[in-house]
Amino acid sequence: MLNKTRKLFVYSVFMALLSSSTLILASTETNSMRSQSGNLVYVGDSYANLMQKMQQAPISQRSYEWQENRKTLSAVDYIYLIDNTYYTVTVVNNQVKKIVWDRKI
Q: Would residue 15 count as lying in a domain?
A: no
- What is the reported pTM? 0.73
Domain holding 64: CATH number? 3.30.1450
Q: Would residue 12 count as lying in a domain?
A: no
**Structural domain span for residue 72:** 29-103
| CA–CA distance, 5 with 3 (Å, rounded to integer) | 5
- pLDDT digits over 38-68, tens only? 999 999 999 999 999 999 999 999 999 989 8
Q: Identify each DSSP E strand in 14-103 by its residue range.
A: 28-30, 32-34, 40-42, 60-68, 71-82, 85-92, 95-103
Q: How many domains does the chain have?
A: 1
Q: Would residue 63 count as lying in a domain?
A: yes
Do the beta carbons of residue 55 and residue 39 sit within 8 Å? yes
Q: Would residue 36 count as lying in a domain?
A: yes
Residue 33 has pLDDT above 50, yes or no: yes
Q: Would residue 18 count as lying in a domain?
A: no
Q: Would residue 7 count as lying in a domain?
A: no
